């Protein structure tokens, strides 16, 4: 018998919640990327990046006419290595220590490198090889915001410098979907032949912007932020980790958390375990404790062991003067009265995600990119969202995730209604927004079907 949709979703949720799709990344340009220098870039905010650089990963070969390019937009904290996060869409997978890619069969893959020259550019402001606060003298010196439209213009310029005369497809998920829309509108039908926007929106919502601001404030509240003028060897890791913890909740669903964690107690890892996996992330957010904590898998309360002393040099602002002063940082798991508190599996999961994230991302870059997201509005200066989408004169595939709480399905439905040559597809997933990274096989099927059946006007 075929399991019901409810049974399939329950099994999927019980099998585990997806973790970090970029677990192998570190700050800096990934091995195998190239850098495209696009020169002086004037931004919508009126500021300038004098010698703008975009890191790029490429797959396949550009044809003699320069017309078989596919530009892929990545998500907020990804790098340009498509094979790391959308490998099942791409016919080039795997990477060696030198960044080389092993070819895999292209049959049935929407990003078939036998047909297409696939290129992904890292965003301006990101910490993976493009111009960013890390390359421009710090956050205070980097122009903020770099809008999504700025990003699209920069990437179209970079594509032309690579010899691209026409983009067969602009595609992306989440933040990458917003980029794909702007590339389609900025490039126009003579430059861009089709667009695919997955789990994105035409205009960043107040709901999503609110989440961005909470995450930024977590970073700003870290005393090591220093107005963005922090030294490279002492970034505000704790603030960035807390921002990541908050973000992880927006990428999932309440149902997936309930099914996975089921109010189970968790082992509270010892300091050496956490320091090995996360570096010097503040113990106050890790919830560290000595060995010996028990695991309660029956759903009962796991008592936290006594708190250990804070790391050396922990500081907090004096409430009256705002000046830093040494203070005992209360460890998670111990209340103000010193009474041990429960420690749940969901806390352990979030502490793990927040603890390892600062090893692969920069706080100033995170702030800059969330501001980029918040500027997104295809209707700005184009008569509104519906008018702008109506100007998109090429086939558009809009893909939504039915459980997405960050960019709900209604946003994709609105896009599909407004665009004249649109197709709407819905992915069924219990995992929320990150369904676009999890339901890869189905996503590939949807895109391949659209590419094959959308007619001579849009055939790729």
The Cα 328–Cα 213 span in angstroms is: 28
Calculated CA dihedral for residues 363, 367, 372, 374, nearest 10 degrees: 140
The pLDDT assigned to 106 comes to 53
Q: What was the pLDDT predicted at 215? A: 98
Task: Reduce the DSSP state of residue 150 to 3 states and report it.
Answer: helix
Question: Are the C-beta atoms of 172 and 72 separated by less than 8 Å?
Answer: yes
pLDDT at 18: 52
pLDDT at site 429: 95
Q: Where are the alpha helices (DSSP H) in 112-174?
A: 148-161
Compute the distance between CA of residue 53 and CA of residue 458 in angstroms, rounded to an integer. Answer: 32
Relative to beta strand 101-103, strand 117-121 is unpaired
User: What is the pTM (predicted TM-score) of this model?
Assistant: 0.82
Residue 35 has a pLDDT of 97
For the chain, the farthest-separated pair of C-alpha atoms sits apart, in whole angstroms, at 72
- Reduced to 3 states (helix: H, G, I; strand: E, B; else coil), residue 88 is helix
Q: Is 148 left (phi over 0), alpha (psi -120 to 50) or beta?
A: alpha
> Where are the extended beta strands (E) located within 141-237?
167-173, 195-198
**Quick one: CA dihedral 454, 69, 60, 400, positive or negative?**
negative
Q: For 193-246, what is each residue's pLDDT tens digit?
A: 999 999 999 999 999 999 999 999 999 999 999 999 999 999 999 999 999 999
CA distance 397 to 399: 6
Catalytic residues, by residue number, are 174, 404, 433
Is 352 within 8 Å of 277 (Cβ atoms)? yes
Q: Spell out the residues 6+ positions from residue 383 whose beta carbon is closer than 8 angstroms to its own.
A: none
pLDDT at 89: 95
What is the per-residue burial (b if ≥16 Cβ within 10 Å, else e) of 299-336? eeebbbbebeebbeebeeeeeeeeeeeeeebebbbbee
Single out the residue of 156, 147, 149 nearest to residue 54, CA to CA. 156
For position 23, what pLDDT does the model report? 60
156-159 long-range contacts (CB < 8 A, ≥24 apart) are 156/183, 156/186, 156/187, 156/191, 157/38, 157/41, 158/36, 158/38, 158/54, 158/56, 158/121, 159/69, 159/71, 159/119
State which residues of the chain have pLDDT below 50: 1-16, 93-99, 102, 271-332, 455-459
Cis peptide before 15 (omega within 30 of 0): no
């Amino acid at each position: 018998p075929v399991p019901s949709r409810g049974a399939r979703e329950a099994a999927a949720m019980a099998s585990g919640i997806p973790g970090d799709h970029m677990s192998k990344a570190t700050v800096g340009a990934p091995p195998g990327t190239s850098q495209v220098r696009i020169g002086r870039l004037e931004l919508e905010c009126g500021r300038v990046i004098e010698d703008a650089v975009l890191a790029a990963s490429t797959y396949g070969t550009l044809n003699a006419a320069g017309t078989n390019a596919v530009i892929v937009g990545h998500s907020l904290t990804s790098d340009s290595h498509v094979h790391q996060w959308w490998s099942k869409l791409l016919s080039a997978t795997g990477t060696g220590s030198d960044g080389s890619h092993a070819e895999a069969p292209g049959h049935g893959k929407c990003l078939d490198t036998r047909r297409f020259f696939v290129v992904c550019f890292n965003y301006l402001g990101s910490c993976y090889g493009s111009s960013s606060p890390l390359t421009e003298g710090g956050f205070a010196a980097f122009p903020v915001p770099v809008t999504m439209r700025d990003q699209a213009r920069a990437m179209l310029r970079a594509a032309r410098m690579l010899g691209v005369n026409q983009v067969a497809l602009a595609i992306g998920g989440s933040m990458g979907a917003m980029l794909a829309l702007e590339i389609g509108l900025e490039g126009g039908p003579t430059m861009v032949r089709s667009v695919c926007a997955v789990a994105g929106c035409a205009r960043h919502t107040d709901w999503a912007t609110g989440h961005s601001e909470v995450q930024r404030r977590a970073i700003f509240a870290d005393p090591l932020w220093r107005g963005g003028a922090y030294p490279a060897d002492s970034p505000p890791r704790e603030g960035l980790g807390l921002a990541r913890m908050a973000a992880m909740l927006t990428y999932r669903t309440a149902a997936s958390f309930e099914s996975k964690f089921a109010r189970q107690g968790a082992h509270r890892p010892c300091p050496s375990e956490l320091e090995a996996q996360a570096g010097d992330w503040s113990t106050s957010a890790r919830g560290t404790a000595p060995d010996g904590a028990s695991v309660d898998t029956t759903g009962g309360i796991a008592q936290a062991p006594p708190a250990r002393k804070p790391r050396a040099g922990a500081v907090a602002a004096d409430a009256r003067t705002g000046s830093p002063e040494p203070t005992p940082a209360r460890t998670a798991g111990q209340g103000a009265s010193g009474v041990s508190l429960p420690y749940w599996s969901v806390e352990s999961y979030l502490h793990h995600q927040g603890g390892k994230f600062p090893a692969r991302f920069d706080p100033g870059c995170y702030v800059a990119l969330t501001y980029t997201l918040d500027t997104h509005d295809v209707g700005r200066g184009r008569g509104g969202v519906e008018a702008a989408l109506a100007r998109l004169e090429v086939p558009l595939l809009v893909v939504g995730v039915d459980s997405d709480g960050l960019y709900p399905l209604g946003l994709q439905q609105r896009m599909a209604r407004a665009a004249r040559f649109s197709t709407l597809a819905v992915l069924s997933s219990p995992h929320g927004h990150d369904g676009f990274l999890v339901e890869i096989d189905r996503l590939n099927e949807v895109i391949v079907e659209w590419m094959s059946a959308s007619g001579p006007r849009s055939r790729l």
